[in-house]
A and B are shown apart, each in its own frame.
Chain A
């Protein structure tokens, strides 16, 4: 490490690379905290009171193969349709409200006339809007149901025709049209769900004077045996079903059909049955005589009718009417052992530990930046020490928030922490930050915890962006072959920790290059040596975890389908990490590369880990393929950034070599 005096251009380049990374993080954070959310007008909008929201959130429902709270279902339904978790509305009186997922879904099902005015549908390609015959607002924009309503028949017609095209061959517009149609269809199920409760059933010619009588669905359900008898009588006598009865049956069928999907919120009374029922299912169960004792079903529908109608009166009345229903459902779910984690999940949704972690990491990073700034200008020692300590505390609090979030997810899912890609992001974040804090405890140079804050912030942002882009509930259960707590605990956790260690190692080596380029401080040599030692330790850990994790995966595969090695892209990616770690360690031991070569190779590890962890999902091959394709281009920018850092490192190394040569020569001449 001779000739370590930096030059102006190396400082400028290193600052540019570091600055670009920080700016990118800042931009990502701004996007994350302030998603494009235009103010839209919803006339006479009245916000839900917190007590109403809390009450509805206590309601469990079945979705994605598990029982979850209303709040989770609302969150991911809104993300899927709208692409974020907030809508800002103005009620025509100058009052502005921010509507969150639970409130949005409550509007959809209880107050659809207000909901249809909200810009719910995100359209990323305006050509899709033009294709269905509407005038696009912007290239990427959001539309309300009201705005789309007239074009919905055309939308469904187009989507149906595109369905025949193989998925891989569909172009961007076709994909967008199909997504929009899918979302609109699901939305219709939501806004129509309580249609049976809002509108009365018309019983034609029911009064002695021949006029119609109006009644509730639950009342009609109570007369199901009588209706069934009348239908049978008509059929046995060979006569058509009377028009008034036919009209009644049609209304029942329409009401039940609209309430069939959207919210599956009624646990079956039969404890052996796992499938929950929707309100529509319950109506049809009674009307078709499927249930021996229809009283419970009728009572449930009656409670729903009363609650839905009470929304028009006041929210206090709504809570009064809806509470017995929630209590009833919660009690039954509890007796079935399916209410175990509902409150915990509501707490998880409400508390938003990941957001807290982001804030703490940001504070940690800002304080760390201040510390290094103070250090350059040689400020008093106590000021630097306090700033550094504060940064460490913030980063540690961020880690605690992450660990709490992961722990809560484990409790809710009742499985080990990593089962899908989202889980890996937050787990890698926690492991990487923890490892860096451990390194800090050995080195005490304030560098490792500064890096921990930076890495923590970057990974939390990635997790949040991925959650929004993927819009899937990542706590849903796993498919049969993956559903093994033993293997999830051993193989998956080990491999994921290997990714964390690999990224951390690459990150440390990047730090080496940038620190060298910046050439700041008196004890640069000592810090660089410390970084090298830490990177070496990181690489050893990467090798150990990746090798053990990969082989454990092979053993799992061997137990699952008899192949130790199936050449699954994910397996291959892990093997590549192992091979690259071995190459670097052996090249170093064999004297083929020295400190610079080690670090440059170690930086490249970031590309390999990203390929294995993230990129293989785009290949659409193998068991580990998560099937998403969004954000494909972002990874190329990441590769580019890594390659540029390597190139910068190569230049620095060449400069160091050329500087060292004259020094060696002059030493030789003195010696001779």
Chain B
């Protein structure tokens, strides 16, 4: 186990631009620099989330659209609490380049042989881990399912995404719901945002949106005068609030307008996630309701909450056990499952976790208990576990071989 003979310095200098490029991308220097940047970003993101919240910080550091970022380091009180700005490349791209570097340097270029089997295996495991993070980032869907004992549900409410729902009101109730996803609107931020028209071929009109606030409050002009150039509708306007540290508390709002097929438009109105009632518009003889709400995604089966148990340690408020006994209902068949802390229910690509427990009101004797489950759809859900097995195996083999070599080397003089 000696470190006196590094092997990196012994490699032959590459010739030709392709070889040089390969050598650069697969080299130790790039690996070390990328890991240093990732180290710095992890540290700064840890500190910044205290001030800006987790969601906003992660969006800042690991947004695929950000080629570079300005990290912020707030100095401690005794150094004047100043904030230093540190420019660096975007974390998403650093991680991508690191993946490439590891693939080329740690697998393709690395020396092969039984002595290197541990290193190669652990490199492969790390690649799998980064890949699982990428798949998770791109495909993961996450929401919550709330229900009282005895209730059944087959929808989960998204954590962050607000959508516009349009439903035609027939026979006194909304039917044929159309959804405009938040991703079509979320870039319409700021007072100078463009106008966006969303075509709705199944409906007798299209929708036009002029501005979207990620965390907006519908404010009366009597309460506070609006800033210049702000659109005011019926004495109300959207006031932009700073994002919450817990991003799921943000409430979206937008200005919307119905545009009829003949090009005529009805008056603009405001849609907000915390409106008490949906907005109603009559188009010809038909009545439509519009509302903004968190996106609901439908699952291929239903879940009924049979019993919600919240147990606390005796004479204390310290939680001991949260457990939901549920029945999974699918195509007429029923299956009973217990969902506990650390023991989720995995089924058909969805995972249900115990998140919260509570009661309808403070009266413990009469109020109904409810349970909130977190529902996650992530194809790479179990990949980190497999990656861990691979990495552990690889590192274990590598270090055992190194240690054995050290022991052999040290025992030689004694034998002689």
Q: Which residues of A contact B (CB under 8 A)?
A: 62-66, 264, 274-276, 442, 476-477, 479-481, 483-484, 487, 532-533, 536-537, 540-541, 543-544, 547-548, 551-552, 554-556, 558-562, 564-567, 569, 572-573, 575-576, 579-580, 582-583, 586-592, 595, 598, 611, 616, 619-621, 636
Contact partners of A562 in chain B: CB under 8 A = 142, 344, 351, 353, 374, 376, 378
Q: Are A567 and B344 in contact (CB under 8 A)?
A: no
Separation of A540 and B394 alpha carbons in the complex (Å): 13
Q: Which residue of A lies closest to B407 (CB)?
A: A442
Question: With the chains together, A18 CA to B164 CA distance in Å?
Answer: 67
Q: A562: nearest residue on chain B (CB-CB)?
A: B376
Interface segment among B4-12, B14-22, B146-154, B293-301: the answer is B4-12
A579→B37 CA distance, assembly (Å): 10
9 A-B interface contacts by CB (under 8 A): A66-B313, A536-B3, A548-B392, A551-B391, A554-B384, A556-B342, A562-B376, A572-B43, A595-B4
Bound form: Cα–Cα A14–B216 in Å: 60
In the bound complex, residues from chain A placing their C-beta under 8 Å from that of B406 are 533, 537
Contact A480–B341 (Cβ < 8 Å): yes
In the complex the two chains form, what is the Cα distance from A636 to B47 in whole Å?
16
Asked if A586 and B31 make an inter-chain contact with CB atoms under 8 angstroms apart, the answer reads: yes
Interfacial residues, chain B to chain A (CB-CB below 8 A): 1-4, 6-9, 27-29, 31-32, 35-36, 38-39, 42-43, 45-47, 49-50, 54, 57-58, 76, 78, 129, 132-133, 136, 142, 312-316, 318-322, 341-344, 351, 353, 355, 374, 376, 378, 381, 384-385, 387-388, 391-392, 395-396, 399, 402-403, 406, 410
Q: How far is the CA of A567 from the CA of B70 in the complex (A)?
A: 19
The contact of B342 among A487, A591, A636, by CB within 8 Å, is: A487
Contact B46 A616 (CB under 8 A): yes
B3, A65: Cβ atoms closer than 8 Å: no
What B residues does A636 contact at CB under 8 A? 76, 78
| Chain A contacts for B351, CB-based, 8 A | 562
CB-defined contacts of A276 to chain B, threshold 8 Å: 314-315
Taking a contact as CB atoms under 8 Å apart, the answer to whether A589 and B6 are in contact is yes
| Interchain CB contact under 8 A, A533 and B31 | no
Contact, CB under 8 Å: A575 / B353 = no
Q: With A487-B342, A532-B3 known to touch, is A567 a contact of B314 (CB < 8 Å)?
A: no
Query: Which A residue sits closest to B6, measured CB to CB?
Result: A591
- Residues in chain A near residue B78, CB distance under 8 A: 636
Closest beta carbon of chain B to A415's beta carbon, Å: 13
> Chain A: which residue is nearest B384 at the CB level?
A564
Residues of B within 8 A of A555 (CB): 384-385, 388
A637 to chain B, nearest CB (A): 11
Q: Is the CB of B315 within 8 A of A592?
A: no
User: In the docked arrangement, what's the CA distance between A579 and B322, Å?
Assistant: 36
Chain A contact residues: helix, strand, loop or mixed: helix
In the assembled complex, the Cα of A540 lies from the Cα of B133 at a distance in Å of 25
- On whether the beta carbons of B42 and A579 are closer than 8 Å, the reply is yes
| CA–CA, A275 and B343, complex, Å | 27
Residues of B within 8 A of A481 (CB): 341-342
- Closest CB pairs A-B (n = 10): A590-B28, A65-B313, A591-B9, A590-B8, A562-B376, A274-B314, A65-B316, A591-B6, A551-B388, A579-B39
Q: Taking the nearest CB of chain B, how far is it from the CB of A595, in angstroms?
A: 8
Residue ID in chain B nearest A594 by CB atoms: B6
Complex CA gap A636/B7 in Å reads: 38
Given known pairs A562-B344, A591-B6, A619-B50, the reply for A483 and B316 (CB within 8 Å) is: no
- Whether A586 touches B395, Cβ cut-off 8 Å, given contacts A477-B318, A533-B406, is no
CA distance A21 to B385 in the complex (A): 43
**CA A487 to CA B32, docked complex, whole Å:** 32
Residues of the A chain whose Cβ atoms lie less than 8 Å from the Cβ of B32: 583, 586-587, 590, 592
Q: A565 contacts which chain B residues (CB < 8 A)?
A: 133
Q: Residue B318 contacts which of A275, A479, A564 (CB distance < 8 angstroms)?
A: A479
A551 CA / B391 CA spacing, docked (Å): 10
Beyond A567-B54, A586-B31, is A544–B396 a contact (Cβ under 8 Å)? yes
